[in-house]
Structure 1
């Protein structure tokens, strides 16, 4: 993890750079696709869904949550990715939902830079790294 400064423009520009964004999506998808069959099952996506930390409270303290509620939330999140409801997530579905989530984050963030703790390999960290690699004029 590292503390980074980013704003909505960082995210939007990363998404707009189709080559960089697509490489990032393909790499992350391949990492999740543990059986290398070109699709993600619920089991393969579960770790990724858990990393979203939807049950975390302030300052990193986890709340104790009813296991049925947890299962329902993860099922719903998986359903967001599984756009054709066939029980798996292909690369295009993964890309479309990830892009939609990043756009929502950027829209919610606004134009002022914020400091965030980002996990290595996360899409936001990749966006910051991508922007840092660009020459300034």
Structure 2
């Protein structure tokens, strides 16, 4: 984890850079597709959601959450990605929903910089790294 400064523009510009964004999405998809069948099953997606622990913590403090409620939330999130409701998420579905979520975060953050603690391999961290590389390239 690291503390980074970012704003909505950082995320928006990263998503709009088709090569950078799609490369990151493809890499994440390939890591999640553990059986290498070209689609993400519910089980493969749930492993990722569980690793994020978004429902088990509240401001970094572990809280007791009803497992049934967590399962309902995971199913709903999987449903957002599985746009054709065939029980699997292909790369295009994964890319489309990831893009939609990233743009929603950009919109929610607005254009005032904030500090955030980011996971090393998160899409937000990739956006910050992309922006830093752009700035370094422009300065060179």
TM-score (ref. length: structure 1)? 0.95
Give the match for residue 53 of structure 1: 54
CA contact (8 A) 2:55 2:65 kept: no
Shift of 1:54: 3.4
Aligned length: 136
Shift of 1:62: 2.1
Give the match for residue 92 of structure 1: 92
Give the match for residue 114 of structure 1: 114
Q: What is the root-mean-square deviation of aligned Cα atoms in Å?
A: 1.1
CA contact (8 A) 2:6 2:114 kept: yes
Alpha carbons of structure 1 residues 102 and 54: separation in structure 2 relative to 1, 3 Å: farther
- Take 1:70 and 1:9, find their aligned partners in 2: how far apart are those partners? 32
Give the match for residue 15 of structure 1: 15
CA contact (8 A) 2:55 2:70 kept: no
- Take 2:34 and 2:43, find their aligned partners in 1: how far apart are those partners? 10
- Take 2:53 and 2:126, find their aligned partners in 1: how far apart are those partners? 16
TM-score (ref. length: structure 2)? 0.93
What stretches of structure 2 of length at least 5 have no aligned partner?
Answer: none
Shift of 1:77: 0.6
- Take 1:111 and 1:62, find their aligned partners in 2: how far apart are those partners? 31
What stretches of structure 1 of length at least 5 have no aligned partner?
Answer: none
SS in 2 for 1:95: helix
- Take 2:89 and 2:98, find their aligned partners in 1: how far apart are those partners? 12
SS in 2 for 1:136: helix
Give the match for residue 74 of structure 1: 74
Q: Structure 1 segments of 4 or more deviating over 2 A? A: none
